Amino acid sequence: MSEQYEVRPDDEFKRIDKLLTEVITDASRSQIQGWLKDKLVEVDGEAVKSNYKVQQGDTITWSIPEPEPLEAAPENIDIDIVYEDEDVVVVNKTAGMVVHPSAGHSGGTLVNALLYHCKGLSGINGVERPGIVHRIDKDTSGLLVVAKNDKAHQSLAEQLSNKSVERKYEAIVHGLISHEYGTIDAPIGRDPKDRQRMAVVENGREAVTHFRVLDHYDDFTLVECTLETGRTHQIRVHMKYISHPLAGDPKYGPRKTWGLKGQALHAKSLGFEHPRTGEWMKFEAEPPEDFTEMITFLKNRR
Which residues are tagged catalytic? Answer: 137
Sign for the pseudo-dihedral over CA of 204, 205, 206, 212: negative
Asked whether 237 and 194 are in contact (CB, 8 A), the reply is no
Which amino acid is located at 68 in the chain? E
| 28: three-class secondary structure by DSSP | coil
Which residues are CB-neighbours of 155 under 8 A, at least 6 positions away? 273, 275
Q: Rounded to whole angstroms, how far apart are CA atoms 65 and 47?
A: 16
Q: Which phi-psi region, left, alpha or beta, contains residue 107 (left: φ > 0; alpha: ψ -120 to 50)?
A: beta
Tell the burial category of 201 from Cβ atoms under 10 Å away from its Cβ (0-12, 13-18, 19+): middle
Pairing verdict, β 59-62 and 3-6: antiparallel
